[in-house]
Amino acid sequence: MPKTLYDKIWESHLVEEQKDGTSLLYIDRHLVHEVTSPQAFEGLRINKRKVRAPKSTLAVVDHNVPTSDRSKGIKDKESAIQVEALSKNCKDFGIEFFGLTDKRQGIVHVIGPEQGFTQPGMTIVCGDSHTSTHGAFGALAFGIGTSEVEHVLATQTLIQSRAKNFKICVDGKLPEGVTAKDVILSIIGKIGTAGGTGYVIEYCGEVFRNFSMEERMTVCNMSIEGGARAGLVAPDQKTFDYIKGRPMAPQNKDWDKALAYWKTLFTEENAKFDREVYLNGNDIVPTVTWGTSPQDISPVTGKVPDPKTEKNEDRKKSMLRSLEYMGLEPNTPIQEISIDKVFIGSCTNGRIEDLRAVAKVVKGKKVNKQVSAMVVPGSGLVKIQAEKEGIDKILKEAGFDWREPGCSMCLGMNPDQLKPKERCASTSNRNFEGRQGRGGRTHLVSPVMAAAAAIEGKFVDIRKFS
């Protein structure tokens, strides 16, 4: 029977499969960060267990770290303890660790690909739901809880059951100003936040083939927002070119062997998917979320929806709740919503291409007086690259705050937070209640839309912005 890409990766990692489908899956790579790992290491210590494959494990601090000057360490005591705990755990168990002052430090899902740690055909896990990002390389990558982190540390395997295959195909050409972020928001708008539950999505079609690796990562990153276990894009020449020469990529003879293998990683013709969804790229538009779930999307030219017209009672209730939290009136044009903050960064949109796109929009312009705007590079290396290209200068001249790398205001575990009722145009992935700070109001948008909003002080149609 013809196989999907997911089937191939799954089957090549099966250590054991029981009759009821419960399987033991071998894990090639494990990424670790400070928030979801301390209890796992504690568990290992209590039970006198070792890390089975320290060399397959890479750790970094990202969620808690301050994005301002770091020379004096971390002020917040609890955050400092967590960061210190990871450093000690890595030392004790022999795991490579990128600490606060390492220039390779950054968001876990940015540094994996950047180092060449992420490669096609692998199984990759991390105690973080956005591990789906790495699927952009044709790797089966998914988030796990802390007990599973401990399980992988101890055994280099996971107990899993097979997911179903979901194909999302977007053909056509994206109009000018429409980005990978708009594509994935449109997909989530269509399938809903639970639409992918129980599935692994493979993104197929012209649009994804034409995407850069950064754009593919933006899409795969938010697979979890559609409920999917993981997202995949089949590897191609762009994937191989991206990986080649990175510090942890295969070298010399190994490279040729790896490449030959990677080229076998695609979905065979007539392979069966359990579900298929088709979108036309030509129809996708710049998108803004209005509610507190990533599925609450509107075209930038649209209006805040009116719950009165919603027939499903549960849905109506949740719309009313969202609008109240967001402080929005039904039928308000999206372009009349003014904002207080702009956050550019996160594992969705904190890569070099994103920063280049932002710089292009804001060059020679000024951030609106009522807006405070920050840019947080996804990693130390992204920051260095941006500075080499003069992107930091353009942004600073426009009035953006240029910060140190980390998760920052994506979840506000560090001091970067929204105040109650503050409204933010954010390039991150979650607009949940309280996500960016208690009472904070998040609108998810693409980097170019966030940049234009920073200049105008409200949402504008990037296609008409010059």
Partner 1 sequence: MKKFERFKALAAHVSIMNVDTDMIIPKQFLKTIKRTGLGAGLFYELRFDEKGNEIKDFILNQAPFNKAKILISGKNFGCGSSREHAPWALLDFGIKCVIAPSFADIFYNNCFKNGILPIVLDEKLVKELSELADKKKEIEIDLEDQKIHKGDNRPIDFDIDPFKKECLMKGYDDIALTLNKNQKISTFEDKKKTLTPWLYT
What SS3 class is residue 343? strand
The interface region with partner 1, picked from 23-31, 265-273, 333-341, 366-374 by CB under 8 A, is 23-31
48 binds partner 1 (CB under 8 A): no
Picked from partner 1, ligand SF4, none, the partner binding residue 157 (CB below 5 to 8 A depending on kind) is partner 1
Site for partner 1 in 210-229 (CB under 8 A): 224, 227, 229
- Take residue 167 and report the two structure tokens written for it: 């194909």
In the complex, what is the shortest distance from the CB of residue 324 to partner 1, in angstroms, rounded to a whole number? 13
The interface region with ligand SF4, picked from 92-100, 101-109, 181-189, 455-463 by CB under 6 A, is 101-109
Q: Indicate the residue among 128 and 148 with the shorter CB distance to ligand SF4.
A: 128
Q: Which residues of 63-98 are buried (b: 16+ CB within 10 A; e: fewer)?
A: bbbbbeeeeeebeeeebbebbbebbebbeebebbbb
User: Do the Cβ atoms of 300 and 288 come closer than 8 Å?
Assistant: yes
382 binds partner 1 (CB under 8 A): no
355 binds ligand SF4 (CB under 6 A): no
**What is the pattern of x (binds partner 1, CB under 8 A) and - over residues 101-140?**
------------------x-xx----xxx-----------
Picked from partner 1, ligand SF4, none, the partner binding residue 347 (CB below 5 to 8 A depending on kind) is ligand SF4
The interface region with partner 1, picked from 65-73, 155-163, 360-368, 454-462 by CB under 8 A, is 155-163
What distance lies between CA 261 and its chain's CA centroid?
27
411 binds partner 1 (CB under 8 A): yes
Backbone angles phi, psi at 23, to 5 degrees: -125, 155
Please select the residue that binds partner 1; options are 87, 169, 190, 193, rule is CB under 8 A.
193
CA 38, 44, 48, 50 torsion-angle sign: negative
Picked from ligand SF4, partner 1, none, the partner binding residue 82 (CB below 5 to 8 A depending on kind) is partner 1
Q: Rounded to whole angstroms, how far apart are CA atoms 296 and 302?
A: 12
In the complex, what is the shortest distance from the CB of residue 358 to partner 1, in angstroms, rounded to a whole number? 26
248 CB contacts (<8 Å, ≥6 apart)? 115, 116, 117
Residue 251: what residue type?
Q
CA 342, 231, 223, 201 torsion-angle sign: positive
407 binds ligand SF4 (CB under 6 A): yes
**Strands across the sheet with 230-232, in order?**
230-232, 199-204, 164-171, 275-280
Pairing of strands 123-126, 140-143: parallel
User: Do the Cβ atoms of 27 and 58 come closer than 8 Å?
Assistant: no
403 binds ligand SF4 (CB under 6 A): no
Site for ligand SF4 in 56-95 (CB under 6 A): 62-63
CA 119, 120, 121, 126 torsion-angle sign: positive
130 binds ligand SF4 (CB under 6 A): yes
Q: Indicate the residue among 123 and 446 with the shorter CB distance to partner 1.
A: 123
Please select the residue that binds ligand SF4; options are 23, 157, 349, 429, rule is CB under 6 A.
429
423 binds partner 1 (CB under 8 A): no
User: Do the Cβ atoms of 112 and 134 come closer than 8 Å?
Assistant: yes
134 binds ligand SF4 (CB under 6 A): no
* DSSP symbols for 252-290: HHHHHHHHHHHTT-SPPTT---SEEEEEEGGG---EEE-
Site for partner 1 in 69-108 (CB under 8 A): 76, 78-79, 81-82, 85
Please select the residue that binds ligand SF4; options are 5, 61, 83, 107, rule is CB under 6 A.
107
162 CB contacts (<8 Å, ≥6 apart)? 10, 21, 23
Site for ligand SF4 in 300-339 (CB under 6 A): none
150 binds ligand SF4 (CB under 6 A): no
Q: Rounded to whole angstroms, how far apart are CA atoms 345 and 256?
A: 35
In the complex, what is the shortest distance from the CB of residue 120 to partner 1, in angstroms, rounded to a whole number? 11
- Take residue 93 and report the two structure tokens written for it: 């168990």
Please select the residue that binds ligand SF4; options are 411, 451, 453, 455, rule is CB under 6 A.
411
Please select the residue that binds partner 1; options are 1, 20, 176, 364, rule is CB under 8 A.
20
**Residues of this chain that bind ligand SF4 (CB under 6 A):** 62-63, 107-109, 128, 130, 346-347, 407, 410-411, 428-429
